[in-house]
Structure 1
Amino acid sequence: MVRNLPPLSALEMFEAAARRLSFKRAAEDLGVTPSAVSHAVQGLEVRLGLRLFHRDQHGLRLSAAGGAYLPQVSAALAALAQATDQATGRRPGGAVSITVAPTFASHWLVPRLARFAARRPDIAIALDTSRQVVDLAREGIDLAIRLSEARTTRGRWTRLMGETLVPVCAPALATSLGETGWPDLLRRAPLLHVTTTSADWDAYLAATGTPRGRLGAGLRVDSIQMAFEAAARGLGIALGRHPLVDHHLAEGRLMALPAPRVPAPTAYWLVDGGAAAERPAARSFRIWLVAEARAAASALPGRR
């Protein structure tokens, strides 16, 4: 059986360019020239008959086809690396330390870690969920996941996924509100506010052209997780954030109200300090994490 496979080097260069959104930085990672990366990607696009990137004055962006292709290529490269290690008896193993906010860790990352453990049981993961801002190099931490509107100048930033805002509440509360449409729901149930993201409701209502109404009323809590818990107990309407609210919706503890979904200005970014994150264990985890994030983002409501 003859397989229609592109050159492995071209797939590696595409994956690096998609991860870094830069031919230059991909070339630095791979130890080749930017021209080599560009030519390899162009050759891959010709072979596939697809445009994988958009190139404009703002830089490099994945096309829809490129975004769909990336997680599959990343998974295939990781599987090949694992198969090679197993065939040769070479098990580099090691450990990866990552700092991440507790809500993102518990709601998104930890539920997926079993998949990484099944693929690389030889790599130990250490999670730091403290809320303190840390210096990755000084603290000896390989990777960080940060919520930010844009990358900063410190470290190497890879965008994982954006956030989408949608009002949510307990199913019982939704039933009691009846067939009331948005924005009339605002007049029938209190809003739940997170003091650390106090501008969220203002931004959401402005984006949807909804009058402020009873914006100031309702319980105030100090974390998104606590807002979800309060909403699940029927205390009001919380502003849910995809992907953090997804498992609450899947389990039926919360339900999305018939209200507009609004992209948030913030996104989740994978940050590393450079050399430490190029160790084999950290690189394997980073490739896997980016692939998981791309797959999760493509499955969000409105992306199908």
Structure 2
Amino acid sequence: MPLRVPPLSSLRFFEAAARHRSFKRAAAELNVTPSAVSHGIVALEQALGVELFVREPRGLSLTPEGDLYLPYISEAFALIATGTQRLPDRRANRTIAVSCAPTLASRWLVPRLYEFREAWPNVSVTVDTSRRQVGFPVDGFDFAIRLSRGPVAGASWSRLFGEWLVPVCSPACRDTLLDHAGNVDLRRATLIHVNTASEDWQTWLDATASEGIEPSGGLRFDTIQLALEAAATGLGVAMGRRPLVDPDIAAHTLVEASAHGVASETAYWLVSAQGADDRPDLLGFKRWLIEEARAFDHHAPSHSNTRPAVAR
């Protein structure tokens, strides 16, 4: 007699809600309503005869039964995803799913995708710029591009390129910051911060031993792209990240507010799902992306000038 298995939809709701500790975030991931997730989990709990979650005002937590059940469900979905990926695909079209930060996607990845499409015309590429943590292979992504100080155990990591931190602003803003000697006085600047950046103004100030600049004030945004756009409109000085900001500097919409660049401790890495090298299209995308990054990295500054940039 076959074992009774709960509905897969309810199990998917449970896995996502347990991972996010939220019905709302699980619903957003699965493109359903929070009510659908809640009802599905209630039905699952009734079918199993146990409670899986503790509903609290500040969020969800797993019951001991739910904590025991989750690893089995997560592993089951991972096996299904892995088996699906490894099936011989006889369709003409394939899809590659990539998770990437929004600024890197708009400034670097998307402008280059036409070259990959020319080489692989029957392969489609889906780019997801949400900030949620990607779980291979449950979430269905083939690759993720992440900013990190180094590879993390448990996945295949390939370094793409690093960054150089340099303050940037609009030409008009820079003119307002010049002192009588023609030097930029960053003490008078409105600093533009990126809340989600692991390295920003404080990193640059520490590395250059700059004095007299208050790093806590100014404007704050949640993406690097918004910070650079704010700087281009003259709202203040943002931390530019070369070579991503090089097109803005070449177009003179942004100019360097300091000659002192600082090498970032982080770099962009390509994280590959298990078995990515077994599919020709995925292997082709990986090799193409690494080659693109290698060529792009050659345009970065050859050295970092980290002499003290004392504001005076």
TM-score (normalised: structure 1): 0.65
Task: Report deviation, 1:212.
Answer: 4.5
TM-superposed CA distance for 1:261, in Å, is 0.7
- Which residue identity does 1:235 align to in structure 2? L
Report the CA distance shift for 1:181/1:197 in structure 2 as closer, same or farther (over 3 A). farther
Q: Deviations over 1:142-186 (max 9, x none)?
A: 111011111100210001011110000011112333467898521
Query: What's the CA shift string for 1:5-62, capped at 9, x where partnerless?
Result: xxxxxxxxxxxxxxxxxxxxxxxxxxxxxxxxxxxxxxxxxxxxxxxxxxxxxxxxxx
Give the aligned partner of residue 196 of structure 1. Answer: 196
Contact 2:136–2:274 (Cα < 8 Å) also in 1: no
Residues 294 and 180 (structure 1), Cα distance of their counterparts in 2 relative to 1, 3 Å cut:
farther
* SS of residue paired to 1:139: coil
Name the CA distance, whole Å, in 1 between partners of 2:135 and 2:271. 11
User: Structure 1 residues 127 and 258, CA, compared in 2 at 3 Å: closer, same or farther?
Assistant: same
Q: How does 1:281-300 map to 2 (within 5 A)?
A: 281-300=281-300
Indicate the residue corresponding to 1:151 in structure 2. 151
Partner-residue secondary structure (3-state), 1:138: coil
Paired residue type of 1:165:
L
Q: Do structure 1's residue 169 and structure 2's residue 169 form an aligned pair?
A: yes
Counterpart code for 1:186: L
1:213 aligns to 2:231 (yes or no): no
The match for 2:43 is none
SS of residue paired to 1:215? coil
TM-score, structure 2 as length reference: 0.63
Partner in structure 2 of residue 228 of structure 1 = 228
Residue 128, structure 1, aligned to residue 128, structure 2: yes
Structure 2 counterparts to residues 208-287 of structure 1, below 5 A: 208-287=208-287
Paired amino acid for 2:204? Y
Q: Is the 8 A contact 2:178 2:184 kept in 1?
A: no
Distance 1:157 1:182 in 2: 45
Identity %: 45
* C-alpha distance in 2 between matches for 1:147 and 1:274: 20
The number of residues matched between the two structures is 214
C-alpha distance in structure 1 between counterparts of 2:228 and 2:214, whole Å: 19
Structure of larger gyration radius: 2
Report the secondary structure of 1:267's partner residue: strand
Return the structure number with greater relative CO, CA threshold 8 A, min gap 6: 1
Task: Provide closer, same or farther for how the CA distance between residues 158 and 176 of structure 1 changes in structure 2, counting only shifts above 3 A.
Answer: same
Residue 87 of structure 2 is matched in structure 1 by none
Greater alpha carbon shift after TM alignment, 106-115 vs 247-256: 247-256
After superposition, give the CA deviation of every residue in 1:170-225 in whole Å (9 maximum; x if it has no partner): 11112333467898521232111122237521111111111152322311222211
User: 2:230 is aligned with what amino acid?
Assistant: A
5+ residue gaps, structure 2, are: 1-90, 304-312
1:174 maps to amino acid: R
Supply the distance in 1 between the matched residues of 2:153 and 2:254 (Cα, whole angstroms): 38
- Kept in 1, the 8 Å contact 2:161–2:294? The answer is yes
| Higher normalized helix content (fraction of residues) | 1
Question: 1:262 Cα deviation (Å)?
Answer: 0.5
Change (3 A) 1:173 1:131: same
Runs (4+) of structure 1 exceeding 6 A deviation are 179-183
Distance in 2 between the 1:181 and 1:93 partners?
A: 62
**Considering only aligned residues, what root-mean-square deviation do their CA atoms show, in Å?**
2.4
The worse-fitting range, judged by mean Cα deviation, of 288-297 and 189-198 is 189-198
What displacement does 1:128 show?
A: 1.2
User: CA 1:171–1:136 in structure 2 vs 1: closer, same or farther (change >3 Å)?
Assistant: same
Tell me the equivalent position of 1:113. 113
SS at match of 2:138: helix
Distance 1:232 1:108 in 2: 19
